[in-house]
Structure 1
Amino acid sequence: MKKQFIVGLILVISSIVVFILYKNFNRSELFTVMKVPNFELTNQDNQKISNQNMLGKVYLVEFFFTNCPTICPVMKTNIMEIEKEINHPDFGVISITIDPKRDTPEILKIQKNRLKVQNPNWHFLTGDRDYIYNVSKEFNIYIGKDYASSEGLNHSGKLALVDKNGMIRSRYDEKGMPILYYSGLNYSDAEGQIESLGGEFHPEINYLKEDILILLQE
């Protein structure tokens, strides 16, 4: 009985400690996911851009393609709203096409001009498709592998958030677990767009604005 009492007491104390730690968990501190994978690709101005060029910047990484009719326009709209609200010289975006055969630097420049992107740190990147696929794997952001089929143009709507030191960062969820990546598909709930576009509401896009500002101040 004495042994059972001690074990029970230890469990109760452990539960209290976990509860106290949870209540005092500092959610303003962002989790370090991993070092950003190395990449070097060609931007819309035929310049080589790498992760080394982005050191000192807080930036987002997305995978997209210019002819994407579904999630890409939503992601671009959300990123542009974030970029407009942040409006900081040390904030940038890396948009990597998964369709480099069509998305040449010239096409990417047309895309940038069409979107009226003014931020010099927003780079639309293209290059070898196998290289891009391997970069996406290192980021742990899904894109389709079989480029010869329609599956090759499938891709995730996730965004990686990278700090000034080249580390991927994320906030924690309500349970204290890191979310790792942010959704770029936060449809506006105000006008019923969730239902009309067949999407889901992802609050991460709102959190993302807050977290970018946190990293800009580090």
Structure 2
Amino acid sequence: MKKRWVFVSALALTLVLAACGSSESSDVEGMEDANETAAVEQESEATGLHEFEYMNQDNEVVTNEDLKGKYSLVNMVFTRCPTVCNLMTPNMTNLQNELDEKGLDVNLVSFTVDPEHDTPEKLKAYGEQYDADFSNWDFLTGYDREEVESFAASSFNSVVQSHPENDDIIHSTQTYLLDINGQVVEQFDGLEVDKEPIIDAIETLVEMEK
């Protein structure tokens, strides 16, 4: 019998958020407090990817249906982010390489939280900067800020919003693991360089499906 993992609580899903733009420790602590407050205000449980039809870095349409049938790793970034995204994206590249070495066929998806600025062309240049393999990694845009705010809240119980004190964007730094039906089954700290917990989780899921 196939087993399904129990999804962690909605609050736990959103406590790790970040506004990109400041390296001062006091500012980071203040942003973490603001993010936790915003997270508490999110009441609906995260369920996974809702129906969508967006554009990737190659100007190709990608839908939620395209991701079904494989496990997926999903995060939220933006190209102008000078801090956390510059850690999250190379971590995802390293993870992509490790998955390939182990023969694990997984979708990687990065949703921009700055869609007005992040065109497909900018996203492709951004991915190339970090040696992303676009064969199974889509950087998605083609929506407005209001839509990604709603999408993040309904799919991941996560906040996307302008920072109240500067021009940065508050967004999740989590990497979400989705099952073959697009439902969230686990989440990981996207700033963590250790890839083994994610690899182990995927291998466990694959074994459960046998």
- Counterparts in 2 of 1:107 and 1:156: CA distance versus 1, 3 Å: same
Residue among 192, 215, 218 paired with 2:205: 215
> Which of 95, 98, 108 is the matching residue for 1:82?
95
Asked if the contact 1:58/1:162 (under 8 Å) is kept, the reply is yes
Q: TM-score, normalised by structure 1?
A: 0.67
- In structure 2, the partner of 1:41 is 54
- The one-letter code matched in structure 2 to 1:30 is W
* Structure 1 residue 63 displacement after superposition: 0.8
Give the Cα–Cα distance (whole angstroms) in 1 for the partners of residues 167 and 110 of structure 2: 20
Superposed structure 1 runs of 4+ greater than 6 Å apart: none
**Judging changes above 3 Å, is the alpha-carbon distance between structure 1 residues 152 and 69 closer, same or farther for their aligned structure 2 residues?**
closer
Tell me the C-alpha RMSD between the 2 structures.
2.4
Instruction: Give the letter for the 2:122 counterpart.
Output: I
Give the deviation of 1:69 after TM superposition: 1.1
> Does residue 31 of structure 1 match 2:6?
yes
How many residue pairs match? The answer is 164
Amino acid at match of 1:135: F
Any conservation in 1 of the 2:72–2:182 contact (CA below 8 Å)?
no
| Of 104, 115, 119, the match for 1:100 | 115
Query: Which amino acid is 1:142 matched to?
Result: V
Asked if structure 2 preserves the Cα contact closer than 8 Å seen for 1:62 and 1:95, the reply is: yes
Q: Residues 86 and 213 of structure 1 are in contact (CA less than 8 Å); yes or no, is this contact kept in structure 2?
A: no
Matched-pair contact (CA < 8 Å) for 1:42–1:126: yes
> What whole-Å deviation, never above 9, does each CA across 1:56-115 have from its counterpart, x for those lacking one?
121111111011111111111221111111114621111011111211011011112222
Q: Structure 1 residues 49-58 or 82-91, which shifts more?
A: 82-91
C-alpha deviation, 1:39, in angstroms: 2.4
Higher relative contact order (CA 8 A, sep 6+): 2
5+ unaligned residues in a row in structure 2: which ranges? 9-46
Greater Rg by CA: 1
What's the offset of the Cα at 1:207?
Answer: 1.5
Partner AA of 1:160 in structure 2 = Y
Superposed CA deviations along residues 176-206 of structure 1, whole A, max 9, x for unmatched, are xxxxx22111157xxxxxxxxxxxxxxxx53
Letter in 2 for 1:184: G
Q: Which runs of 5+ in 1 are unaligned?
A: 1-27, 171-180, 189-204
Identical-residue share of aligned pairs (%): 32
1:182 and 2:188 are equivalent in the alignment? yes
Q: 1:64 aligns with which of 41, 62, 77?
A: 77
1:95 touches 1:124 (CA, 8 Å); kept in 2? yes
Residues 1:116 and 2:122 are matched in the alignment: no
1:142 alignment partner in structure 2: 159
Q: Specify whether residues 149 and 133 from structure 1 end up closer, same or farther in structure 2 by C-alpha distance, changes over 3 A only.
A: farther
Q: What's the TM-score once normalised by structure 2's chain length?
A: 0.69
CA contact (8 A) 1:39 1:135 kept: no
Question: What is the rounded CA distance, in whole Å, between the counterparts of 2:105 and 2:170 in structure 1?
Answer: 31
- Of 41, 51, 63, 1:50 maps to 63
